[in-house]
Amino acid sequence: MHKATEFRLEAHPIIPEALERLDELANDLFYSWDHGVRSLLARIDLRLWLKVEHNPKLFLRRVAQDRLDEASEDRAFLAEYRRVLSSYDAYLEAGPGPEVTEKLDPEKTLVAYFCAEFGFHESFPIYSGGLGILAGDHCKAASDLALPFVAVGLLYQQGYFIQSIDALGQQIARYQSHSSDELPITPVEKDGEVLKVSVPFPGRDVVARVWEARVGHIRLYLLDSHTEENSAEDQELTLQLYGGDESTRISQEMLLGIGGTRVLEALDLKPTVWHINEGHAAFQILERCRHTMASGLNFEAALEAVAGATLFTTHTPVAAGHDIFPRDLVYHALGRYLEESGLDFETVFALGAKAGGDTFNMTSLGLRGSRFHNGVSRIHGGVASQMEGDIWPQVPAEENPLGYITNGVHVPTFLAPEWSSLFDIQAPTWKSEMRNQQFWEFIDQIPDYHYWSVHKALKQQMGEYIVRRLSRQHKRNGTGHSVTDRMTRQLISSEKDTLVIGFARRFATYKRATLIFSDLDRLERILTDPDRPVVLVFAGKAHPRDKPGQRLIKVIHDLSMHPSLMGHLILLEDYDQAMARRLLSGVDVWLNTPEYPKEASGTSGEKAALNGALNLSVLDGWWGEGYDGKNGWAIPPRDTELDAEFRNEEEARDLLDLLEFEVVPLYYERVSQGFSRGWVKRSKASMKTITPRFNSQRMVMDYVTNYYQPASSQGALLMADGGKVATGLADWKAKVREAWPGVELHVVGCVEARCPHNDTVELRVEALLNGLSADDVRVECLVSPECTGTHESPGPDSFFLEKESEADGRTVFASRVQPPYPGLQTLRLRMYPHHEALTHPLEMGAMLWV
Ligand SMILES: *Cc1c(COP(=O)(O)O)cnc(C)c1O
């Protein structure tokens, strides 16, 4: 039989005048955190709202005219519509608070934030995981604080893949194209035409058109190569996030870094601080150098000026997270751009070279092209300082300029509305106390039964959601109803109120999703105790090229089908932000078992904690700071020097011990009301200690204080007087680099080995400065009490030595020092280059010790 061709026709409604601002709401990512907007739409047609997967623009295109007409005449609906709008208007009217304006003058400063992915909401799929969600949360908090802020990224027509898991447990990756009119974006126009920028590529220019996404107070600009000026191949450059090969990757990164900078220029925006969020966007440094050189500076001076206004954030110690390109590829891809820009290839290549290698590392470029740099938790900051230590070769890693700011999450996005309503009653001003730890003690005032009833309601919603998702998944795979029923029976048993543990994130091998299955017999015993059953819920995508990651999915799938674990292990497909909100607000325990120290921060555990779930995790990333002994459970990581298999076994045993002897018994320690008071106490301890410390408002304010404000001043200082300071600094650095290998430092005479505690000892060192002057260096003495033995940073225990005399090319530095500690102490003397325009005293990476 001949199958007729089908034509799809979408008849869209005309929005009634009474509801005309619905369009505006659908075009502002405000909806991604404001529950009011989303429930307003859901109220018009709940089935359609679910069908379009919470996509406001698609919803407004497909909703039936009579539904809209009815709503426009429904008084209750109109009242809600007005309430939502007035809260939207009030949000937009509120300006920045004094804590912001005293640091960043909105008239004179602007932060530009570049990232390869942004995760705002499931309806806008241009993210893959943690990095994107974090960037989305950063923008949302920047909007909440009304910072002078603009973000830049790429628009991927297909975004990241949609995941199915088939009946054999294999991951199937499917890409879906999204037309721009179903995304919360509008074309950017300039002088009545669609704004386009072009970037020189080998043998041609690649053109990108520009889209704008509104995020409350701020704007995100997205570049899109799908435009008629480009060849078919170039149109696909921005097709997929993390798709294609390394040539696609470097092309995307040229569009993001170089093209993105050109977008801001075309829009006449003049950022005073540039935040490069992960290496993908680091090519912006080159474009800004080119731009700065146009005002008469040489490359070195331009680089100083550019770097001084730049913050680079590195997000992972895992190798796959750092782009490393072969020399040939960089030469080919950037050649024409560099030539047209008057930039020398070797000079540029050296910025990305890792010591000794012949490859180009985007992280190294980011670090050399910025004077402010950070990791994303205390542990990660330390690890990154070690990893990237070659940028500052003579400086001890503990002291190099790479700092940290621990990631936080956007509370309005991830806190379930049920909790936020409860807080509204219990502590109405909570939204303006997001960083006040003391304020959050109010959590203890919530009656236990009330607290538990909110959690239980959310858990039930999660249960229903899981049943829906799993039924869909099973139906497609031809898996019988009875399997679905058996698999979810424990989960939805209201009589047992079963303990539910969640694990959902990207399936990357270092996250060790299967660690908990290390001792299956024991796990089975713990999970299937009829009086104290436990259900594990897993979800996550593995990158389509990550075969070991996909094997983990299969292992978990197979176990979930095994009769002995049936009902105690569930694997859901297609993890996204919508599923994350459900799971994170519904589970009792959130599990994370990364291989230390590879979880740079992790954020999902923070989202779980806001919602009252307890973390059970390896002490890595944020949990290394969050865990206080009473607000969850911790698995101490074993020494990384030990054999990996041994570490896995040891940490897995800790995990099962905690489950068997602490988590399960505490959860099932039920009193008359049917819940465990001990559990509620711990859950409250978690919520009140973690919420005010690990939210994105605290994170962004830390960025403002520690980096945005200083970078803004430093950039201005270096560019003052047409870049005079930058030029002076660059020339000085060249002089120091030249002289440094010939510089020497010696002690003169001998240092007293003993002195009365209230007396002083004389210290003298003699420096051979090889053409530098005494003002070009700083000499200091570090003193540490003998017993600590650790490598301390210069703090109050450090003395600067004063210059004494200068003769025949030798300079003597001397000082009298009173021992700061009683008893035995260690003195060490060192010298490093000094210039008043340096951003960080040790940024040159040069240092000599006696
Ligand atoms: C928060 C979040 C992540 C990050 O999870 P980690 O456990 O920190 O890796 C990934 N995906 C989604 C959808 C998230 O919401």
Q: How far does the centroid of ligand 1 lie from the alpha carbon of residue 132, in Å? A: 9
Q: How far does the centroid of ligand 1 lie from the alpha carbon of residue 602, in Å? A: 7
How many structural domains does the chain have?
A: 4
Residue corresponding to tokens 């490069």: 276
> Is there a domain that residue 488 lies in?
yes
Shortest-distance atom of ligand 1 to CA 576? 13
Q: How far does the centroid of ligand 1 lie from the alpha carbon of residue 621, in Å? A: 13
- Residue 832 pLDDT > 90, yes or no? yes
Q: How far does the centroid of ligand 1 lie from the alpha carbon of residue 508, in Å? A: 12
Judge whether 680 and 613 are in contact, CB under 8 Å: no
**pLDDT at site 784:** 83
pLDDT band for position 210 (cuts 50, 70, 90): very high
DSSP string, 379-415: HHHHHHHHHTGGGSTTS-GGGSSEEE----B-HHHHS
> Is there a domain that residue 425 lies in?
no
Residues 719 and 292: their CA atoms lie apart, in Å, by: 9
- Residue 793 pLDDT > 50, yes or no? no
> Is there a domain that residue 49 lies in?
yes
Least confident among 222-226, 709-713, 776-780, 824-828: 824-828
116: three-class secondary structure by DSSP = coil
Average pLDDT for residues 639-646, to the nearest whole number? Answer: 96
Residues 299, 373, single domain; the answer is yes
**pLDDT at site 839:** 98
Q: The domain that contains 586 carries what CATH number?
A: 3.40.50.2000
Q: Is the Cβ atom of 130 under 6 angstroms away from ligand 1?
A: yes
Residues 686, 612, single domain; the answer is yes
Q: Is the Cβ atom of 580 under 6 angstroms away from ligand 1?
A: yes
**pLDDT at site 817:** 83
Residues 113 and 94: their CA atoms lie apart, in Å, by: 22
Q: How far does the centroid of ligand 1 lie from the alpha carbon of residue 133, in Å? A: 7
Q: Is the Cβ atom of 579 under 6 angstroms away from ligand 1?
A: no
Residues 284, 347, single domain; the answer is yes
**pLDDT at site 343:** 97
Q: Residue 252's closest CA among 273, 235, 271? A: 235
- CB count within 10 Å of CB 11 equals 8
Residues 321, 438, single domain; the answer is no
The string of pLDDT tens digits covering residues 288-315 is: 999 999 999 999 999 999 999 999 999 9
Show Cβ contacts of residue 802 under 8 Å, excluding neighbours closer than 6 positions: 813, 814, 815
Q: How far does the centroid of ligand 1 lie from the alpha carbon of residue 590, in Å? A: 12
Q: Residue 151's closest CA among 134, 168, 166? A: 134
- CB count within 10 Å of CB 149 equals 29
Residues 166 and 782: their CA atoms lie apart, in Å, by: 62
Find the radius of gyration of the CA atoms of the chain: 29
pLDDT band for position 675 (cuts 50, 70, 90): very high
Q: Is the Cβ atom of 576 under 6 angstroms away from ligand 1?
A: yes
The string of pLDDT tens digits covering residues 42-99 is: 999 999 999 999 999 999 999 999 999 999 999 999 999 999 999 999 999 999 999 9
Planar angle of CA 148, 275, 359, nearest 5 degrees? 165
Judge whether 136 and 119 are in contact, CB under 8 Å: yes
| Structural element, H or E, at residue 212 | strand 204-215
Show Cβ contacts of residue 474 under 8 Å, excluding neighbours closer than 6 positions: 480, 481, 483, 484
Residues 282 and 309: their CA atoms lie apart, in Å, by: 14
Q: Is the Cβ atom of 237 under 6 angstroms away from ligand 1?
A: no
Residue after which a domain boundary falls, among 41, 63, 93? 93
The string of pLDDT tens digits covering residues 116-143 is: 999 999 999 999 999 999 999 999 999 9
Residues 127, 77, single domain; the answer is no
Q: Residue 112's closest CA among 379, 293, 311, 287? A: 311
Residues 331, 376, single domain; the answer is yes
> Is there a domain that residue 526 lies in?
yes
- CB count within 10 Å of CB 188 equals 18
Residue corresponding to tokens 């505490």: 666
Residues 730 and 371: their CA atoms lie apart, in Å, by: 13
The string of pLDDT tens digits covering residues 560-577 is: 999 999 999 999 999 999
Judge whether 614 and 685 are in contact, CB under 8 Å: no
Residue after which a domain boundary falls, among 646, 669, 690? 690
Show Cβ contacts of residue 122 under 8 Å, excluding neighbours closer than 6 positions: 53, 54, 576, 577, 578
Q: If you take atom 11 of ligand 1, which residue's CA is the nearest one?
A: 129
Residues 786 and 583: their CA atoms lie apart, in Å, by: 51
Q: Is the Cβ atom of 505 under 6 angstroms away from ligand 1?
A: yes
Q: Residue 813's closest CA among 740, 764, 777? A: 764
Residues 163, 305, single domain; the answer is yes
493: three-class secondary structure by DSSP = coil
Q: Is the Cβ atom of 603 under 6 angstroms away from ligand 1?
A: yes
Q: Is the Cβ atom of 462 under 6 angstroms away from ligand 1?
A: no
> Is there a domain that residue 621 lies in?
yes
- Residue 790 pLDDT > 70, yes or no? no
Q: The domain that contains 765 carries what CATH number?
A: 2.60.40
Mean predicted lDDT score pLDDT of the chain: 95
Residues 35 and 87: their CA atoms lie apart, in Å, by: 11
Mutate to test the pocket of ligand 1, among 123, 242, 505 (most ligand atoms within 8 A of CB): 505
Q: Residue 384's closest CA among 624, 597, 135? A: 597
Average pLDDT for residues 263-276, to the nearest whole number? Answer: 98
Residues 296 and 305: their CA atoms lie apart, in Å, by: 12
- Residue 363 pLDDT > 60, yes or no? yes
Residues 122, 198, single domain; the answer is yes
Residues of the domain holding 754: 743-849
Residues 277, 368, single domain; the answer is yes
> Is there a domain that residue 257 lies in?
yes
**pLDDT at site 153:** 98
Q: Is the Cβ atom of 602 under 6 angstroms away from ligand 1?
A: yes
**Long-range pairs of 75-84 with CB within 8 A, sequence gap ≥ 24:** 77/40, 77/43, 77/44, 78/18, 80/36, 80/40, 80/43, 81/19, 81/22, 81/40, 83/36, 84/25, 84/34, 84/36, 84/37, 84/40
The string of pLDDT tens digits covering residues 743-779 is: 999 999 888 888 898 898 888 999 999 999 999 999 9
Q: If you take atom 1 of ligand 1, which residue's CA is the nearest one?
A: 604
Q: Residue 31's closest CA among 145, 122, 115? A: 122
Q: Is the Cβ atom of 341 under 6 angstroms away from ligand 1?
A: no
Q: How far does the centroid of ligand 1 lie from the alpha carbon of residue 108, in Å? A: 35
Average pLDDT for residues 445-470, to the nearest whole number? Answer: 97
Q: How far does the centroid of ligand 1 lie from the alpha carbon of residue 572, in Å? A: 15
Q: Is the Cβ atom of 32 under 6 angstroms away from ligand 1?
A: no
- Residue 789 pLDDT > 60, yes or no? no
Cite the DSSP H helix spans in 587-676: 604-610, 623-626, 644-658, 664-667
Dig out the tokens for 483 from the structure.
């399997």
Q: How far does the centroid of ligand 1 lie from the alpha carbon of residue 263, in Å? A: 30
Residues 423 and 430: their CA atoms lie apart, in Å, by: 7
Dig out the tokens for 11 from the structure.
């008849």
What percent of the chain clears pLDDT 90, i.e. is strictly above it? 89
> Is there a domain that residue 667 lies in?
yes
Q: How far does the centroid of ligand 1 lie from the alpha carbon of residue 715, in Å? A: 34
Residues 239, 280, single domain; the answer is yes
- Residue 807 pLDDT > 50, yes or no? yes
Shortest-distance atom of ligand 1 to CA 602? 8
Q: How far does the centroid of ligand 1 lie from the alpha carbon of residue 505, in Å? A: 5
Mutate to test the pocket of ligand 1, among 603, 610, 699 (most ligand atoms within 8 A of CB): 603
Mutate to test the pocket of ligand 1, among 510, 577, 604 (most ligand atoms within 8 A of CB): 604
Q: How far does the centroid of ligand 1 lie from the alpha carbon of residue 525, in Å? A: 30
Shortest-distance atom of ligand 1 to CA 414? 15
**pLDDT at site 785:** 82
Residues 505 and 604: their CA atoms lie apart, in Å, by: 8
Q: How far does the centroid of ligand 1 lie from the alpha carbon of residue 570, in Å? A: 18
Shortest-distance atom of ligand 1 to CA 504? 7
User: Is the overall model pTM greater than 0.85, yes or no?
Assistant: yes
Largest CA distance in the chain: 106
Bond from prior residue into 597 cis (ω within 30 degrees of 0)? yes
What one-character DSSP code corresponds to residue 540? -
pLDDT band for position 788 (cuts 50, 70, 90): low
Strand order in the sheet with 761-768: 744-747, 761-768, 810-817, 802-807
- Residue 418 pLDDT > 70, yes or no? yes
> Is there a domain that residue 495 lies in?
yes
- Residue 7 pLDDT > 50, yes or no? yes
Q: Which backbone phi and psi does 150 adopt, to 5 degrees?
A: -140, 140
Residue 154 backbone zone (phi > 0: left; psi -120 to 50: alpha; other: beta): beta
pLDDT band for position 787 (cuts 50, 70, 90): low
Q: How far does the centroid of ligand 1 lie from the alpha carbon of residue 512, in Å? A: 15
Q: If you take atom 4 of ligand 1, which residue's CA is the nearest one?
A: 130
Q: Is the Cβ atom of 593 under 6 angstroms away from ligand 1?
A: no
Residues 449 and 457: their CA atoms lie apart, in Å, by: 12
Q: Is the Cβ atom of 577 under 6 angstroms away from ligand 1?
A: yes
Q: How far does the centroid of ligand 1 lie from the alpha carbon of residue 823, in Å? A: 51
**pLDDT at site 704:** 98
Average pLDDT for residues 818-827, to the nearest whole number? Answer: 85
Q: Residue 721's closest CA among 372, 295, 269? A: 295
Burial, 643: exposed, middle or buried (Cβ in 10 Å; 0-12, 13-18, 19+)?
A: exposed
Q: How far does the centroid of ligand 1 lie from the alpha carbon of residue 128, in Å? A: 9
Q: If you take atom 7 of ligand 1, which residue's CA is the nearest one?
A: 604
Distance of CA 201 to the CA centre of its chain: 30
Handedness of CA 43, 45, 47, 53 (dihedral sign): negative
Average pLDDT for residues 340-368, to the nearest whole number? Answer: 94
Residues 179, 249, single domain; the answer is yes
Judge whether 743 and 772 are in contact, CB under 8 Å: yes
**pLDDT at site 373:** 98
How, if at all, do strands 534-539 and 499-504 pair? Answer: parallel
For 216-341, strand residue ranges (E) read 218-224, 273-277, 310-313, 324-326
Residues 295 and 297: their CA atoms lie apart, in Å, by: 6
Residues 671, 709, single domain; the answer is no
Residues 148 and 104: their CA atoms lie apart, in Å, by: 8
Q: Residue 657's closest CA among 536, 518, 552, 538? A: 518
- Residue 441 pLDDT > 90, yes or no? yes
